[in-house]
Structure 1
Amino acid sequence: LALRFSGVSVCVLGLFICLFFHFYAGICSALKLTVPSHTIHGIEGQPLHLSVDYNFNATASEIQIIWLFERSQSNPKYVLGSVNQRVVPDLEYQDKFTLIPPNASLRINPLHLSDEGNYIVKVNVRGNGTIAASQKIQVAVDVPVSKPTVRTEPSSGVVEYVGNITLKCTVDRGTRVVYQWMKNGKRLHAGPNYTFSSNNATLLIVPVVKEDIGNYSCLVSNPVSAMESEIIAPTIYYGPYGLKVKSDKGLNIGTVFTVDMGEVVLFDCSADSNPPNTYLWIQRDDNTTQVIKYGPHLEVVSDKVAQKTVDYMCCAFNNVTGKRDQTHFTVVVMSVGLEKLAQKGKSLSSLAVITGISLFLILAMTFLFLWKRYQPHKGMAKYFARHYFPSSYYISFLIFVLPLGHESASDDFGIYEFITFPDLTSGSRVSNQSVPGPDFVAGQDMLSTVYEVIQHIPEQPQQDHQQSSNIALNENSH
């Protein structure tokens, strides 16, 4: 019984081993087909090559290749086949399809729109056994696009904020056409005033504004081609905008033009507008106005102007949009040379200005430094009083110089001495030398005056105002 069970176990084990080796051999000898994984796009009238590779690891006695064609919602149809590279075509497609050995590639020539669909390839290999594999390839047939044309409606142009513009793009040939609008070479996307049709073939601009002016084009494409239309620029009427007046001479500051007497000045009036504006010049004199010229230019002869200051006005009209604008300016006639002086002052270089400011700051800081340095010394004021002021100027010195010595006037009360001695060169002038030293010549006349400055505060508020501000000066002459 034990032997019987042992024999059964050995048989079962052998069976598993045989199945394993058979499965392993099937895997090793499996047939592999390599085909394009994406849709193949062909051009109508051109040949199309469908590349197919196959490989296997087994001894083959016979290899069979079959190609089938399947349209949408139809059964596959035999195209051609081969056994060991002997091709057996279908009589209906005998010259259209070609098998390219040694692989299973297929050539379709020429390609028509009716050839669009799925192509199925099957490979059977017979050896110790039979192995097979199949794959499907999707083929799309396209017609190249022709050059598109763009039409504008209305073609006569529109007024901004009033009219709308429709741009339509059309092509004569092409399949699976994709439309894309371009403005000034860049792709145009939907916006507040840009609307596209479902297939992007039509562009609607509502409302039209000045910023919509530009070069528009239509780019059409499909998987096998691309073409761009001619540039078209829709006509948009707008303006006037930015009205301004310029002159070829004189000095212009804001709306005032200063000119020299005797000059002939040409004024130019301009504004952004389509179509071009109609210009009108008006001269305002007192409370009256008068039209003096039509056109964008006005010539003013300054010596023929009755007044030195004249007011003018330039008006611009757009006859299509119905809009207008105006600007006022004043012409001031000056004597010859004033304008040039103003221009020179205006043209002063920034370097000169910076240099002047720097020198001023340096001098001011130097003066401030010296003033702070000598401010506490009352003797300095006394020195100048003694040697540089005659007695006739001494009262002025007391009034105007001494208070500058200190921040508080109370520091200036005290005793001052004024000394004078004759000048050898001129008896009427005071010497500018220093105080005499030891080598002073004896017997030379020298005058000395001592002043005492005291503060007086009145005791009674009824005292005279003049007495409350007196400074007592006691003099001792030697």
Structure 2
Amino acid sequence: MGPPSAPPCRMCVPWKEVLLTASLLTFWNPPTTAQLTVESRPFNVAEGKEVLLLAHNLPQNTLGFNWYKGERVDAKRLIVAYVIGTNQTTPGPAHSGRETVYSNASLLIQNVTQNDTGSYTLQAIKGNLVTEEATGRFWVYPELPKPSITSNNSNPVEDKDAVDFTCEPDIHSTTYLWWVNGQSLPVSPRLQLSNGNRTLTVLSVKRNDAGAYKCEIQNPVSANLSDPVILNVLYGPDVPTISPSNSNYRPGENLNLFCHAASNPTAQYSWFVNGTFQQSTQELFIPNITVNNSGSYMCQAHNSATGLNRTTVMMITVSGKWIHEALASHFQVECGSQRRARKKFSFPTCVQGAQANPKFSPEPSQFTSADSLPLVYFWFLLFLLSDFSCLTSGPSCNERRGLPQP
């Protein structure tokens, strides 16, 4: 005989509904009360200003609250206790006289100092005497003074000296920045920062390093900029140059030479002619020169700060024989024949026209004076005798001076 069958279920619930209910119970949580928090306004505070520690989500059944200095409840570090029902305030051992507590549990601290930096704990006491705590924090920074720069050498010599700039004063939790001629510090292996960026070192200074240096100090609540310190780089002299570059002169002209060399401070100049000292000036002037003034002209540049000397030499030639001014300008000749097209030739002192037609190339030495004019026509006659016809135009006198005769 088989086992007795189970009595029929009068209020049966489908198993799928049971599983759904279990799932909902597992994943559903009743809403929780918002957590007590403390907000610092502002978070970064300038020394001497005030900060408000604002309480959020204070429990509704709160009977009173306490404020402590630090991250934990410590009776020795109690700032103030407050009873909501009676509005009674009781200062604690950590009360400085600068704190004010409000009924909403917020705490105002005035005239803050850097010693006030840190954490503050709010303890809320609820009706069942259960406590809830929250911590807030803030940072106090000084109002930064105007910085200044000290330097170990404000007049360094190029490629020889190094310079250290130091930004003063040394202030904790402060950012130091450097500016050169109004621009942020360029990236260079010769520019090195140290000592928390307070010290800037310029290695093997160059003339391009010269200029105005400033330092700036910053913290989260203030910034200030120093007055400029001028770096004066001593350099040179570089190899001097003599102007004008013309080296050929005629008797009776004035010789006026000018010497210049890049140098800081400005170079001192001396002139030597054929090795003999002439004068200590930047400009050399000799009026009405003769052939005896030919020779080597040396300019020496001296820098008294670097102790360096640089020289350059120019050879000056004063010639005694010159082509007549009219002949030193140029002739224009147009020649041709029945077999050859007509061409125009120009014969300046450099005989450029002769280079264009080698068949007609008089040398400059043939034109030594106005007396040589028949010789010119002799050359033209050669063309006339050789099936050429030529037309000439007189000197245009474009050149104002002649050509020296070798």
State the partner residue of 1:221.
218
Matched, 1:299 2:285: yes
Counterpart of 2:135 in structure 1: which amino acid?
A: K
Determine helix, strand or coil for the equivalent of 1:51: strand
Which of 38, 47, 52 is the equivalent residue of 1:49? 52
Residues 204-237 of structure 1, C-alpha deviation per residue, up to 9 Å, x if partnerless?
Answer: 2332332322221222222222222221123432
Deviation at 1:324, TM superposition (A): 1.9
Structure 1 residues 307 and 114 mapped into 2: Cα distance closer, same or farther (>3 Å)?
same
Counterpart of 1:196 in structure 2: which amino acid?
A: L
Counterpart of 1:166 in structure 2: which amino acid?
A: D
CA distance in 2, matches of 1:153, 1:120: 50
Deviation at 1:330, TM superposition (A): 4.3
Residues 133-160 of structure 1, C-alpha deviation per residue, up to 9 Å, x if partnerless?
Answer: 54322222222222222121145x3322
Counterpart of 2:77 in structure 1: which amino acid?
A: K
State the partner residue of 1:161.
159
State the partner residue of 1:322.
307
CA distance in 1, matches of 2:276, 2:299: 12
CA distance in 2, matches of 1:204, 1:118: 40
Structure 1 residues 293 and 121 mapped into 2: Cα distance closer, same or farther (>3 Å)?
same
Confirm or deny: 8 A CA contact 1:69 1:76 kept in the other structure. no
CA distance in 1, matches of 2:114, 2:88: 26
Name whichever of 105-114 and 75-84 sits farther off: 75-84
Deviation at 1:108, TM superposition (A): 0.2
Determine helix, strand or coil for the equivalent of 1:227: strand
Confirm or deny: 8 A CA contact 1:145 1:175 kept in the other structure. no
Counterpart of 1:146 in structure 2: which amino acid?
A: P
Deviation at 1:257, TM superposition (A): 4.7
State the partner residue of 1:393.
none
Q: Which structure has the bigger radius of gyration?
A: 1
CA distance in 2, matches of 1:35, 1:300: 91
Confirm or deny: 8 A CA contact 1:277 1:316 kept in the other structure. yes
Gaps of 5+ in 2: 1-5, 13-17, 330-386, 388-406
Confirm or deny: 8 A CA contact 1:238 1:275 kept in the other structure. yes
Structure 1 residues 309 and 75 mapped into 2: Cα distance closer, same or farther (>3 Å)?
farther
CA distance in 2, matches of 1:296, 1:77: 81
Residues 272-316 of structure 1, C-alpha deviation per residue, up to 9 Å, x if partnerless?
Answer: 1122222111223xxxx3222212111132x33335855422111
Confirm or deny: 8 A CA contact 1:151 1:168 kept in the other structure. yes
Confirm or deny: 8 A CA contact 1:256 1:330 kept in the other structure. no
CA distance in 2, matches of 1:64, 1:218: 51
Gaps of 5+ in 1: 8-12, 247-251, 343-399, 401-478
Determine helix, strand or coil for the equivalent of 2:236: strand
State the partner residue of 2:341.
none
Q: Which structure: greater helix fraction? A: 1
Residues 307-332 of structure 1, C-alpha deviation per residue, up to 9 Å, x if partnerless?
Answer: 58554221112233232222223456
Deviation at 1:196, TM superposition (A): 2.6
Which of 230, 240, 255 is the equivalent residue of 1:233? 230
Confirm or deny: 8 A CA contact 1:151 1:169 kept in the other structure. yes
Deviation at 1:239, TM superposition (A): 0.6
State the partner residue of 2:99.
97
CA distance in 1, matches of 2:269, 2:140: 62
Determine helix, strand or coil for the equivalent of 1:238: coil
Residues 362-405 of structure 1, C-alpha deviation per residue, up to 9 Å, x if partnerless?
Answer: xxxxxxxxxxxxxxxxxxxxxxxxxxxxxxxxxxxxxx9xxxxx
Determine helix, strand or coil for the equivalent of 2:231: coil
Counterpart of 1:111 in structure 2: which amino acid?
A: V
Structure 1 residues 139 and 304 mapped into 2: Cα distance closer, same or farther (>3 Å)?
same
Structure 1 residues 64 and 47 mapped into 2: Cα distance closer, same or farther (>3 Å)?
same
State the partner residue of 1:84.
84
Confirm or deny: 8 A CA contact 1:237 1:321 kept in the other structure. yes
CA distance in 1, matches of 2:162, 2:96: 59
Matched, 1:279 2:278: no
Aligned-residue CA RMSD in angstroms?
4.4
State the partner residue of 1:352.
none
CA distance in 2, matches of 1:204, 1:230: 18
Confirm or deny: 8 A CA contact 2:81 2:92 kept in the other structure. no
CA distance in 2, matches of 1:300, 1:203: 52
State the partner residue of 1:405.
none
Determine helix, strand or coil for the equivalent of 1:114: helix
Confirm or deny: 8 A CA contact 2:269 2:282 kept in the other structure. yes
Structure 1 residues 207 and 124 mapped into 2: Cα distance closer, same or farther (>3 Å)?
same
State the partner residue of 1:267.
257
Counterpart of 2:235 in structure 1: which amino acid?
A: Y
Structure 1 residues 307 and 175 mapped into 2: Cα distance closer, same or farther (>3 Å)?
same
State the partner residue of 2:119.
118
Confirm or deny: 8 A CA contact 1:80 1:87 kept in the other structure. no
CA distance in 2, matches of 1:3, 1:82: 67
Confirm or deny: 8 A CA contact 1:38 1:138 kept in the other structure. no
Which of 40, 44, 52 is the equivalent residue of 2:43? 40
Structure 1 residues 151 and 3 mapped into 2: Cα distance closer, same or farther (>3 Å)?
farther
Counterpart of 1:50 in structure 2: which amino acid?
A: L
Mapping of residues 430-469 of structure 1, within 5 Å: none
Structure 1 residues 305 and 45 mapped into 2: Cα distance closer, same or farther (>3 Å)?
same
Confirm or deny: 8 A CA contact 2:254 2:289 kept in the other structure. no
State the partner residue of 1:354.
none
Structure 1 residues 151 and 95 mapped into 2: Cα distance closer, same or farther (>3 Å)?
closer
Which of 209, 212, 216 is the equivalent residue of 2:209? 212
